[in-house]
Amino acid sequence: MNSPPLGPEVDPWPRPLPARTPLAGMYTALEPLHRRHADELFEAARGADDSFAYMGFGPFATRDEMARLIAHNAAQHDPIFWAIRPIATGVASGWLSLMDIEPANAAIELGHIWFSPRLQRTRAATEAMYLLLKRAADELGYRRLVWKCHSLNAASIRAAQRLGFTPEGILRSHKVVKGRERDTAMFSITAAEWPSRRDAMEAWLAPENFAPDGTAKRSLASFR
């Protein structure tokens, strides 16, 4: 009698939880989110209501409203939030998190990403995502890196594809966000895919990939 097909054997040990500690790169510093970031982040969010269109929070009418959310998020173990402080400006200009952490399955999501307009499409933004993905995959050994977003969020879908996440499909009628139905687009990077994605990000971020005016000489996808 033939045995039923089974998946490959893997290291079954649960992965460690990410530590709420700072990370530093060439272009940005990630700081564990704290109430002290509220003033800078509220200023970064001024006039940027559309940047919250697909988020479960925001926009924020007052500094105190944002500060309450930041204080709440800073106290969570899942998701774990970091504020993004680009070295070029020295000002906290966005945040992101590691979330839906499954140590037993070695799966973790990069999510709740909010970049203010001053941070969008910068080396600091790309490096911020790279730093957390590297922590999850290389330092902690997670085998499945997840990205999910509203299926109508074209910018987030482009970002996932740019970083090398593989589309997995759509979860239909997945959530209700701000009173509206949301279909969720799912993406992942597996352990087998991660080395090529990491190497591509590192090559794109290298100083020699940028012209004197700051524009990239090659796209990130061209390094894969």
Give the model confidence (pLDDT) of 109-157 as tens digits.
999 999 999 999 999 999 999 999 999 999 999 999 999 999 999 999 9
pTM score, two decimals? 0.96
What class is the 23-206 domain?
alpha beta
Structure tokens at 102: 């499954």
Structure tokens at 179: 């009173």
Per-residue model confidence (pLDDT) at position 2: 84
**72-92 pLDDT, tens per residue?**
999 999 999 999 999 999 999
**7-16 pLDDT, tens per residue?**
999 999 999 9
Per-residue model confidence (pLDDT) at position 143: 98
Query: Which ranges in the chain belong to alpha helices (H)?
Result: 38-45, 63-74, 123-134, 154-163, 194-205
Q: In this model, does residue 3 exceed pLDDT 90?
A: no
Q: In this model, does residue 1 exceed pLDDT 80?
A: no
Structure tokens at 151: 């299926």
Q: In this model, does residue 49 exceed pLDDT 90?
A: yes
Per-residue model confidence (pLDDT) at position 17: 97
